Amino acid sequence: MYNEKVLKEFMKPQNIGSIDNATTVAEVGSPQCGDMTKLYLKIENNIITDAKFQTFGCAAAIATSSVGTRMLIGKSTDEAKKITNKDIINELGGLPPAKIHCSVMFEEVMQKALENF
Residues that bind ligand FES (CB under 6 A): 30, 33, 35, 57-58, 60-61, 99, 102, 105
Distance of CA 102 to the CA centre of its chain: 10
22 versus 58: smaller Cβ distance to ligand FES: 58
Pick the closer one to ligand FES by CB: 13 or 43. Answer: 13
Side chain identity at 86, as an amino acid letter? K
- 58 as an active site residue: the answer is no
For ligand FES, the closer of residues 48 and 102 by Cβ is 102
- List 33, 47, 58, 73, catalytic entry: 33
- Residues facing residue 51 across a β-bridge: 41
Shortest Å distance, C-beta 42 to ligand FES: 24
Q: How far is the CB of 28 from ligand FES (least distance, A)?
A: 11
Phi–psi pair at 24, nearest 5 degrees = -150, 145
Sign of CA dihedral 67, 51, 108, 45: negative
Least distance (Å) from ligand FES to the CB of residue 87?
A: 18
**Of 102, 104, 109, 110, which is the active-site residue?**
102
DSSP string, 27-84: EEE-TTT--EEEEEEEEETTEEEEEEEEE---HHHHHHHHHHHHHHTT-BHHHHHT--
Looking at the annotation, which residues are catalytic? Answer: 33, 102
